Structure 1
Amino acid sequence: MSEVLKIFKIGGAIIDDAAQLGRFLTELARVSGAKILVHGGGKGASQMLQNLGIKPQLVQGRRITDAATLGIVTMFYAGKTNKQIVALLQQLGVNALGLSGADGNVIRATRRPVQDIDYGFVGDVSEAGVNAALLGQFLQSGLTPVFCAITHDGQGQLLNTNADTIASVLARALAAAYAVELHFCFEKDGVLADVNDETSVIPQITPELYQRLKASGAIAAGMVPKLDNAFAALAAGVEKVVIENALRLNEPVKTVLCRS
């Protein structure tokens, strides 16, 4: 039986709150076995952009990234946020290794082509762009890779890539060697049937139910790319996908996504 690998993605308000981030990382440190952390930082990056007089632009949770925005998000994601998380994990006894996609050529992306929208310096990734062998070496050495949302194209160009997508692609790329569990962690207890009712957690979602929830508007905005990536991961062989509260990793309340 393959070794279990748990891939966690964290973002949203948890990243912006030092106390909550510390609580999440404490819970993460309690998770035994091989693990990978992928982090976003969108709200903090948006605030930094606004402070510098640059208006953040997002379409369905995806950031439009011009040259100025790319410089800021690279500093924020790959610098301040990534290294702070690595330092906190080291304090908790987790031997974390901070990475962008350029480090070790571990995730190579392609710049998104211009169609209806010009997303600028945004990278699309696939399993073929993941250096699974190098990641396996890191994991076997007892390291916990910590990925920010910056990738590269192999030609010297950094690219901004959705962190949910990175987590999903990593899960798919490593599913041949590991029994992968993909965990999307944020400030809610799971996917809510009613956004105004924190207790309305949907315990299980099938692809059919997901389409109905999208059509009704119950699931919209940033949750759409999150669940699109989750179902793509399931279809590609990932064992389990979980949407859960970042502060309650070791508790039973959560949403589990199912193939049928």
Structure 2
Amino acid sequence: MKNLTVVKVGGGVLENEESSSQFLKAFAALEGNKLLVHGGGRLADQYLLKLGLKPNMVNGRRVTDKDTLEVVTMVYGGLVNKQLVANLQSRKVNAIGLTGADGNLIVSVKRPSDDGVDWGFVGDPIEVNADTLNDLVGQGTVPVIAPLTHDGKGTLLNTNADTMATVVSVALARHYEVTLIFAFDKAGVLTDVDDDNSVVEKIDEAGFAEMKASGQIHSGMIPKLESAFEALNEGIRKIRIVGFANISNEKAGTTLQLEK
């Protein structure tokens, strides 16, 4: 079975020209089959504020009303996605920009309200068209997927990029030996968020629960790790959380592992 590397990169990396360039250089250098899922939340926040709209986050996930959906669609599916594709083409990577609606790649259901939170147009994936993605990868292209899905009834849905990277990895595991890498602006999972030398080299679900309870892990890292452990339990070969410039360094960052 061939190998595939799925990389998810956060918007915080992409909004800065220097870090974005470093990441794209590292991604372009990855050998073999690869696929990129990207975020763009910080840039979306900037555009929301410019339009007089207030970003609304709950436990690291974005509440998405109609106006917010329009903005994130333009930012994620347009500006960020197409800039990534153009920059990868300049590095001789034959990238193709997609959302979950393109080619019916990812179908979601609208998230129901819970704990008093009306999530609005937020989608939870229920189906991934792995055969189409496999065909694209097999043709030598590199899919670059924005964090937008659809409900099959004409409505776009804002979907957490970590979740998208996870479900795509799980779906493609029947075609490839998949390594999933979460690349962001920290060196890995840290015991002290302000100290990049405090990297946790390996973490299991019990360790994650302890760090979450103590407050060492919070905000956007919570859904990232929840999604990652979900994938690990569903047969993904390897999962790493690592700094954006070190995605090809096997010794860098945090490796997730199942309970012993």
What TM-score bracket applies, with the shorter chain setting the length? over 0.9
Q: Distance in 2 between matches of 1:10 and 1:255?
A: 15
| Unaligned segments of structure 2, at least 5 residues | none
Q: Distance in 2 between matches of 1:135 and 1:209?
A: 34
Kindly state the Cα deviation for residue 214 of structure 1 after the two structures are TM-superposed: 0.9
Amino acid corresponding to residue 189 of structure 1 in structure 2: A
DSSP-derived class of the 1:208 partner: helix
Amino acid corresponding to residue 230 of structure 1 in structure 2: A
Matched, 1:216 2:180: no
Amino acid corresponding to residue 112 of structure 2 in structure 1: P
Q: Corresponding residue for 1:239?
A: 237
DSSP-derived class of the 1:82 partner: helix
Amino acid corresponding to residue 27 of structure 1 in structure 2: A
Q: Corresponding residue for 1:196?
A: 194
Kindly state the Cα deviation for residue 207 of structure 1 after the two structures are TM-superposed: 1.1
Kindly state the Cα deviation for residue 113 of structure 1 after the two structures are TM-superposed: 1.3
DSSP-derived class of the 1:154 partner: coil
Q: Corresponding residue for 2:180?
A: 182
Q: Is the 8 A contact 2:181 2:247 kept in 1?
A: no
TM-score by length of 2: 0.97
Which of 127, 139, 142 aligns to 2:140? It is: 142
Kindly state the Cα deviation for residue 57 of structure 1 after the two structures are TM-superposed: 0.2
Q: Distance in 1 between matches of 2:16 and 2:193?
A: 22
Q: Is the 8 A contact 1:12 1:187 kept in 2?
A: no
Q: Is the 8 A contact 1:27 1:247 kept in 2?
A: yes
Matched, 1:166 2:164: yes
Q: Corresponding residue for 2:85?
A: 86
Q: Corresponding residue for 2:225?
A: 227
Q: Distance in 1 between matches of 2:60 and 2:197?
A: 24
Q: Distance in 2 between matches of 1:9 and 1:25?
A: 12
Kindly state the Cα deviation for residue 20 of structure 1 after the two structures are TM-superposed: 1.2
Q: Distance in 1 between matches of 2:108 and 2:135?
A: 21
Matched, 1:123 2:123: yes
Q: Distance in 1 between matches of 2:80 and 2:108?
A: 21
Please tell me the root mean square deviation across aligned C-alpha atoms, in Å.
0.8
| Unaligned segments of structure 1, at least 5 residues | none
Q: Distance in 2 between matches of 1:233 and 1:115?
A: 24
Q: Corresponding residue for 1:46?
A: 45
Q: Corresponding residue for 2:7?
A: 8
Total equivalences in the alignment: 257
Q: Distance in 2 between matches of 1:250 and 1:179?
A: 16
DSSP-derived class of the 1:109 partner: strand
DSSP-derived class of the 1:108 partner: strand
TM-score by length of 1: 0.97
Kindly state the Cα deviation for residue 36 of structure 1 after the two structures are TM-superposed: 0.6
Q: Distance in 2 between matches of 1:25 and 1:155?
A: 35
Kindly state the Cα deviation for residue 15 of structure 1 after the two structures are TM-superposed: 1.2
Identity percentage of aligned residues: 47
DSSP-derived class of the 1:247 partner: helix
Amino acid corresponding to residue 164 of structure 2 in structure 1: I
